[in-house]
Amino acid sequence: MLRATSTFQYSVPRSFVQSLEGKAMAVATTPVNVERQLAWTAAGPAPSPFPAALLAGSANPRLANRVERALAIRLAACTTERFPDGEVFVRIDESVRGLEVVLLQPTSPPVNDHLIELLAMADACRRAAAARIVAVIPYFGYARSDRRDGRRTPIMGSLLADLMERAGIGHVITLDLHTPAVEGFFRIAVDNLTAVPVLADTLRARVPSDAVIVSPDLGASHLADRYATILGLPVAICHKHRISGNHVSISRVTGDVAGRPCVVIDDMITTGGTIVECVRTLRAANAMPDITVAATHAVLVPGALRRIASAGVRKLIVTDSVEITGEPVKELRPIIVSVAPLIATAIRRLLDGGSLRELA
């Protein structure tokens, strides 16, 4: 037996696997339940016949604890360790045989570690005879790699979909995917939730009625439309070109921003380069200098928050899909809106056989 040298350990102390609110559910050892199958045919989706277990990897323990509280299902115990050479070791510390396993793990930085951990946990549950594995991946890394960018390049989003299915994941729940193309890479069900309504609610009290929603590039324009519809505001779109991983340039903005307060929205912020360039472009187009930024995933690399603050942004609203790490910046304290209630509602509806449509 390999022994892992614990350079890193994450263990959720409260053990337990329990049924949703103690509801009586069909015994897991009888996976084919004729009555339920009939109910499905007659009246649409039926509740899961399996008791549920909630598991979380090490990527975002705070979010995991919030989801745990919102769902009232205790996190099952698991251990994650790193060998000295960087390899990942995981162990599910209680039985998941015959259970519907909900596995929460955003693939946030360090992306490759968290991804491998997710795959390893799914593989462990599959080999331990879980009935079904639902991966909740609030931030889905590599989603920007959705097509071949020239010759001899991979499509990482597609590769990840294959790996996840191969590891035994039977259903994916994610949040504001960078592109819907990623859904198409899966042959299993994918539910792409959106944080736009909760972020827009937070913005509502903070932006004046003559504000403009600004999309920093064409790709985020559908997201901008959703904010604009909820808030009843017009949209402007920037024309962005990516020069390298940490360098972008914006040539112009289409839409009326002169003399108006702007709200820049995006699905994610990584280096902050897009936001900084967008702010520069808006100021050059005579927008009001006080610019608000809202994004779902704060994948902030070191220095990103400082960079955005230095561009003069004083209001930044993000979710807790990714754990924000690094040095706080005095002038820019992000407002963090939790997506735990949204994720908990989605999980509950999924297990109860309900629709997730209004969450997407």
Minimum distance from residue 341 beta carbon to ligand R5P (Å): 25
DSSP calls for 243-275? EETTEEEEEEEES--TTS-EEEEEEEESSSHHH
- Name every residue whose Cβ is closer than 8 Å to that of residue 175 and which is 6 or more positions away in sequence: 138, 139, 140, 192, 193, 194, 195, 296, 297, 319, 321, 339, 342, 343
How far is C-alpha 287 from the chain's CA centre?
A: 31
Question: Closer to ligand R5P at the Cβ: 20 or 262?
Answer: 262
Distance set, CA 296 to CA 134, 253, 267, 312, 318 (Å): 22, 22, 5, 20, 5
Tell me the three state secondary structure of residue 193. Answer: strand
Question: Closer to ligand R5P at the Cβ: 268 or 351?
Answer: 268
Nearest CA among 91, 173, 74 for reference residue 132:
173
Question: How far apart are the C-alpha atoms of 280 and 252, rounded to whole Å?
Answer: 11
Q: Which two tokens stand for residue 59?
A: 């990527």
Q: Are 174 and 192 in contact (CB under 8 A)?
A: yes
Minimum distance from residue 271 beta carbon to ligand R5P (Å): 3
Minimum distance from residue 287 beta carbon to ligand R5P (Å): 18
Catalytic residue ranges: 240
- Binding residues for ligand R5P, rule: CB under 6 A, are 216-217, 219-220, 248, 266-274
Question: Closer to ligand R5P at the Cβ: 299 or 340?
Answer: 299
- Name every residue whose Cβ is closer than 8 Å to that of residue 222 and which is 6 or more positions away in sequence: none
- Which amino acid does the sequence have at 360? A
Minimum distance from residue 121 beta carbon to ligand R5P (Å): 27
Minimum distance from residue 216 beta carbon to ligand R5P (Å): 5
Q: Are 267 and 297 in contact (CB under 8 A)?
A: yes
Question: Closer to ligand R5P at the Cβ: 88 or 275?
Answer: 275
Minimum distance from residue 240 beta carbon to ligand R5P (Å): 7
Q: Which helix (H) or strand (E) holds 221?
A: helix 221-231
Question: Closer to ligand R5P at the Cβ: 97 or 147?
Answer: 147
Q: Which two tokens stand for residue 181?
A: 């193309």
Nearest CA among 140, 147, 162, 257 for reference residue 210:
257
Question: Closer to ligand R5P at the Cβ: 73 or 275?
Answer: 275
Beta pairing class for 262-269 and 247-254: unpaired
Question: Closer to ligand R5P at the Cβ: 102 or 214?
Answer: 214
Minimum distance from residue 300 beta carbon to ligand R5P (Å): 8
